[in-house]
Structure 1
Amino acid sequence: MKGLVHGMRLAVCGLAVVAATQAMAEEQLIKGNIRLVIGSTSTGGDTYQNASIIAEELAKKLDVNVKVDAVGTSAAFKALARGASGNTLMFFHDQSYLGNLYGIRGYDDIFTEYKVGPMVSINPGDAFLTPKNSPYQTVEDIVEAVGQDKQVRVAIQPGGVSEIGYSALKNAVILTHPGKEDNLVAVNTGSQSDKNQLLFDGQADLIHGSVQANEQYTRLPADDQKAMSFAWLMAREGTLAQANEEGFGQTNRDALLGYAEPNISVTLNGTDNFTFDKEFFFIYNKDIKPEIVEYLDQALTEIYAEGQVQQTFKKNFFIPNFMASAESERYLKEKATTYQKVIQAIQ
């Protein structure tokens, strides 16, 4: 009898989901196709991967075509500014506001010039790496070496999540070895392949990377020119702990947790550790209609209630993390304020 009742409940829930989906498709506040522009030109990076996962689910839910377009940050913001119909949406991560905090040209304040939309996921694999034969095996070693007048070169992309990690390291040096922070030298570059090449060529001692892009190099023998070791994962321990146990590639979750706080300590203020979750969210035209914002929030709410998208994200070593637009905007404003203090501390 219990099984029959449970089966009836599942059937009712299933019918409710189908009915809601049909209602959204019939309502169709966004007419025609949706172009989802991303702040990256790479079709192999984590921004494109996360955008593709959510675009596929939105396309099914709204019964429209959703095309992910890797146009880069400047072109994405320009495309977004051209219309408020909902046919062009932007998808990016924390670099969208960090670029403005760092004063990088082309980055407006997303909280005043645009409308922050819903958050969908986190990449817990945001990382820094050293050559496998490096004398520095963790960023703690690097902070100490810098304090002992060793120059350490760090390959980053200016204005993004890589620079906030570099800023955190510099801040830690200021707090623990004041006056020695100039020994930590930023090597400004572009794509992940550029950063990797600097490490291969011995032109950088530490590079920003990710579990997804760099784990393969950590499996190489130490005498291989391309061999790397993880030195730091910036994600919060609680975020990384949500990943599947198998982790990524041949590196399981427990091994990856060994590179994150509290096992790796980069001080934020002498008491707390610095952490950073790289989070992905939508950005809308400032004049987008409130009913379209609500329409997309509702679509995503239903997608996450169904549960399949969570499995897809975690299979690709991403953490599902849905927040509707209003909550997402409040959260990201507070986050931006927190990391602005880190940036100001080193200026």
Structure 2
Amino acid sequence: MKLTRRTIMALAACSTALIAQPFAASAQDLPRNVRMVIGSNSTGGDTYQAASIVADALAEELGINIKVDAVGPSEAFKAVGRDSRGTTIMLHHDQSYLANLYGVPGNPDPFEGYVVGPTLTINPGNAYLVPKNSPYQSMDDVLQAAGDGERVRVAIQPGGVSEIGFTAMRNAARMASPGSEENIVAVNTGSQSDKNQAMFDGLADVINGSIQANEQFAELPEDDQKAMRFLWITATQEALEQGPEAGVGNLTREDMMQYAAPATTVPMSESEPFTFDKEFFLIYNQEMDPAQMETIDTALATVFENEELNQRLLDAFFIPDYRPMEEAAAHLQQKRDDYATVIESLKAPAAQ
């Protein structure tokens, strides 16, 4: 099946119940009604889509009610932080720790004062694009331009997933030619439509976007003011290989692979390319009963063995990514530490 943005939204909104037997221990371990707060204010974005799909399956397995509530990151942290009874849990993605690393107010460190729970799914769509008539044909061209003293403007939403790829570009520029990272400059915007508009208005040379949101513009002819071209997809090869072969719109999985490592490489170090998978995971109150967390972990292990859930995620262009809580926390902590190193290194003067 060929996916379009409209199809993805419709599939994610669908609340068809998955057939499963309720998990027997749920009644004694978890409240009958659970609120899942998410780090997004939107009911149309990928965070709400992922939460809805997983919450439906988890509620069916546990025999409880789970209500997804789009309150935004600050309010989500507050809500889960004041409820230790297990009636409130949080779902968010890497922005939960990236915003803290970038110093965004109202975004605490989820590894301090909270319990990081299991990973659930990946959205492999994080991307960077240029106008179709741009002279930049590759990320090498962007880095070379910066090295030659050319100013490259990149539209991002500061403080999270949108900014980490921009940070990676600056790090790679610095590695290639110390000081040239100053030529890669941020155009700070807001939503995806704001980033798109910055490109349409000629205010940005490169924008952060996504496969799902921007593929429609990549289909436009070059003489259209809104026509875009993918330059870089940050997802790992392993994540993309698990996606549907038909891809999204006219962008097939094979096409996507040409914009991601190892075909398109933005160095993170001398031996390692920068990659970023946008992973969704649960966050708990640190005083929540460990037995309740274990009940959720066990139920998730069961539902992720269900091909119907995995297919529903894939149909909405999410990659199933279940890791139990202990493994997930270690994985995400390492991921956070790796990105923190890059972010901090750019605060120091470049070695000449």
Question: Same fold, TM exceeding 0.5?
Answer: yes
1:108 paired with 2:108, answer yes
| 8 Å CA contact retained: 1:138, 1:230 | no
Q: In 2, Cα distance between the equivalents of 1:34 and 1:214?
A: 35
> For the Cα contact (< 8 Å) 1:38–1:92, is it kept in 2?
yes
Q: Distance in 1 between matches of 2:23 and 2:161?
A: 39
Partner of 1:248: 248
1:310 match: 310
Q: Give how far 1:174 is off.
A: 0.4
Contact 1:24 / 1:61 at 8 angstroms: preserved in 2?
no
Task: Return the alpha-carbon distance in structure 2 between the equivalents of residues 223 and 70 of structure 1.
Answer: 39
Confirm or deny: 8 A CA contact 1:28 1:62 kept in the other structure. Answer: no
Structure 2: unaligned runs, 5 residues or longer: 1-18, 348-352
Q: Which has the higher helix share?
A: 1
Q: Which one is further off, 329-338 or 58-67? A: 58-67
1:143: how far off? 0.9
Query: Distance between the aligned counterparts of 1:227 and 1:70, measured in 2?
Result: 32
Structure 1 residues 97-106 or 289-298, which shifts more? 97-106
Distance 1:336 1:64 in 2: 33
1:118-129 equivalences in 2 (<5 Å): 118-129=118-129
Q: CA deviation at 1:182?
A: 1.1
Q: How does 1:133-282 map to 2 (within 5 A)?
A: 133-282=133-282
User: Contact (CA 8 Å) 1:153, 1:184: kept in 2 or not?
Assistant: yes
Where structure 1 has 5 or more consecutive residues not aligned to the other structure, the ranges are 1-16
Which residue in 2 is equivalent to 1:341? 341
The CA RMSD over aligned residues, in Å, is 1.4
What displacement does 1:130 show?
0.9
Please give the alpha-carbon distance, in whole angstroms, between the structure 1 residues aligned to 2:71 and 2:209: 21
- What is the CA–CA distance in structure 1 between the aligned matches of 2:132 and 2:100, rounded to whole Å? 34
Regions of 4+ moved over 3 Å: none
Cα distance between partner residues in 1 of 2:66 and 2:188:
34
* Structure 2 Cα separation of the partners of residues 28 and 194 of structure 1: 48
CA distance in 2, matches of 1:182, 1:90: 37
Under a length normalisation based on structure 2, what TM-score does the superposition of the two structures give?
0.90
- Displacement of 1:32 in angstroms is 3.1
Whether 1:23 and 2:24 are equivalent positions in the alignment is: yes
* Cα distance change on mapping 1:108 and 1:269 into 2, 3 Å: same
- 1:329 partner SS: helix
**Counterpart of 1:246 in structure 2: which amino acid?**
A
Residue 24 of structure 1, CA deviation: 4.0
Structure 1 residues 110, 22: closer, same or farther in 2, change over 3 A?
closer
Measure the CA separation in 2 of the matches of 1:162 and 1:256.
Answer: 19
Letter of the 2:99 counterpart: G
Higher Rg: 1
The 3-state SS of whatever aligns with 2:305 is helix
Q: Which TM-score applies when normalising by structure 1?
A: 0.92
Letter in 1 for 2:53: I
Tell me by how many angstroms 1:29 deviates: 2.2
